[in-house]
Structures are given as C-alpha cells and as structure tokens.
Amino acid sequence: MEATATGAVTALTEAQWRGRARAHEARVDALTADHLRRRERGERHPVEDFLFTYYSLKPSRLRRWHPGAGTVLLGEGAREHLAERFHTEVGEGVGLDTRAFLKARPVTGFVERLLSAVASRPAHLGCFGLHEWAMVYRADRVRHEQVPLRLGAEGTDRVVRSHRVRCSHFDAFRFFTEPARPLNTLQPTRESQVDLDQPGCLHANMDLYKWAYKLAPAVPSELVADCFELSRDIRVLDMRASPYDLAAWGYAPVRIETAEGKAEYMAAQEGFAERGAVLRGRLLTVCAALRGA
C-alpha cells in the first residue's frame, strides 16, 4: 500500500513508518557514534562538541523519530506514539495535535518571521569567519584553551585590526571581547535579529538546526537530521577558518589572512548558503502548514 494523501494529511502504513523510523535511527547512530564514544571516555573535541553543548538537543532526542505535522501513522503499533507529547488519535491513526503544539510553542511565530526575513535577503559573503578571531582579540584567555592560536596572540590581533569586521549575527557578536566590539561595523542585538540575520551567515545557517528541533515534533525527524548535518559541516569550516591551530585534530586551516584562504572560504560559504536556502524553505513549509491548520 502506498502512502496516501487526503487534503493536507498523509497516511503511512505501519510498514512504511517503521521503515522510516529505522532508517532515521541508523543515520543518527552513525552521526553521533564518535561523540558518544568520546563522552564515555571523558574526552573533549574542540570542533564537534559544539553541536551538543551550544545546541541543547541530546543525541537520544535527535535519534527519536517523529513524522511531523500533517502525517498520520496507521496500524496497531502507531498507538505507542500516543505517549509522545502533542500526539493524539486522528481517525484510525495517530498524528500531531496541532492546536496543542501551537499553544505550547509560541516560538513558532518568531521562527517563521525570522526564517522568512532571512530568505527574502541576498546572501552577503566575505566575512571570512572573523567573528572567531574577534572572540579572542586582545584576550587574556582563549575560549578553547586546549588548542593553540595558529598565529599567536599578536598575530591574531593583527589580523583583526587589518580587516573590516562585519558580523551581523547576535549569537556570534555577543562572544566578542570588549576591545573587539567597537571594531564591528554592526552592533547586533537580540531585538534586531530578524532585521540583521542574512542567508550567507554561517551561524544563521547553523541555527537552522536549532529552529528545526525547537519546532519538533511538528518538523519531521529527517529534516531535523538534515539541518544537523548542515550545522556539523559548517562548524568544520568555522573552526578551520578560526585562529586556532587544529592540525593535531586533523583539520587543515583555511588561512583567511591570505587571498587564497579568502577565496576558499567564500566558495564554501556560498555552498552552505545554497544548502541553507533549501532547508530554510522546507522549514517555512512546515510553519505555513501549522499556521493554516
């Protein structure tokens, strides 16, 4: 039996939704295996830990599968999903209680406004990841103390002073050192986030993962995992282009202080903007469906 659509509702047979759930679990197991092994050994990782510390979703929650809004699960086994928050009986199956979800998650409206605003703007490239450099500018201590600065403190400060720093993302700017803040051409705040976030920003694209899991279980788990993968890939560029020397961890630097490094960074940034635009559109489709439910 094929999945059937009635209006905005898609019905999945038990064989279909169990197959999707198993595939999702296997995918997440592969994505999180190294992190879980390190966690058991008490080891830290300067690149990948960010995905599980700055972002609050636990690997076990990322692994848990839900079909998203507008999908009804059929079969006797579907009743196990009634134990999940916001799920209810829908005809002969189980699906999302949209009204209960929207009542409990008022952040949905903000997420839709933010993503719509970002999607309406052109991508600005060429920030060269200087936000990470500004976070250690003239600092007594660095954020990743187990990792040395590639150019040393004086060399790092020189790179910041010799570039135009234009960070538009508040959640990066708020970690700037005090001496670095006046060097930024923008002074983003939480209140100006909707006005300033733009689709070329690495952190705005990484945050698609945050918005996806904040709207779960209305967002299908496969989309949450897609956003996680984008965030993971961007994090690698973010740190390779940072002032830190990550050679011991297997990461070659993107030397943004050189013309070649700038070109490499911008090419990768453009690719991430394109991937982010697709995922942002999918999340906006979920928001529109919730609003119209």
pLDDT at 216 > cutoff 70: yes
Paired tokens of 238: 């973010």
Percent of the chain with pLDDT over 70: 95
Helices 221-240 and 259-292 meet at what angle, rounded to 10? 160
The mean of the pLDDT values for the chain is: 94
Band (69; pLDDT cuts 50, 70, 90): very high
Mean pLDDT across 24-34 = 98
Can you say how many angstroms the Cα of residue 132 is from the centroid of all Cα atoms in its chain? 17
pLDDT at 1 > cutoff 70: no
CA–CA gap between residue 221 and residue 282 (Å, rounded): 12
**The pLDDT of residue 136:** 96
**Is residue 183 helix, strand or coil?**
helix
Which sequence spans correspond to the domains of the chain? 4-292
The answer to whether residues 241 and 132 touch, using CB atoms and an 8 Å cutoff, is yes
CA–CA gap between residue 37 and residue 242 (Å, rounded): 26
CA geometry: angle 54, 55, 61, nearest 5 deg: 145
- List residues bridging with 9 in a β-sheet: 6
CA–CA gap between residue 34 and residue 16 (Å, rounded): 29
Band (144; pLDDT cuts 50, 70, 90): low
The answer to whether residues 17 and 94 touch, using CB atoms and an 8 Å cutoff, is no
Mean pLDDT across 119-134 = 96
pLDDT at 196 > cutoff 50: yes
CA–CA gap between residue 287 and residue 281 (Å, rounded): 10
Cis before 217 (ω within 30): yes
**The pLDDT of residue 291:** 87
CA–CA gap between residue 219 and residue 68 (Å, rounded): 5
Backbone angles phi, psi at 71, to 5 degrees: -120, 130
pLDDT at 178 > cutoff 50: yes
Mean pLDDT across 239-260 = 97
The answer to whether residues 31 and 226 touch, using CB atoms and an 8 Å cutoff, is no
**The pLDDT of residue 4:** 42
Least confident of 46-55, 135-144, 159-168, 216-225: 135-144
> Measuring CA to CA, how many Å separate 54 from each of 57, 87, 109?
9, 28, 23
User: Which candidate, 258, 193, 268, places its Cα nearest to that of 233?
Assistant: 268
Mean pLDDT across 162-191 = 97
**The pLDDT of residue 142:** 63
**The pLDDT of residue 2:** 41
CA–CA gap between residue 88 and residue 18 (Å, rounded): 18
Band (146; pLDDT cuts 50, 70, 90): confident
CA–CA gap between residue 184 and residue 75 (Å, rounded): 57
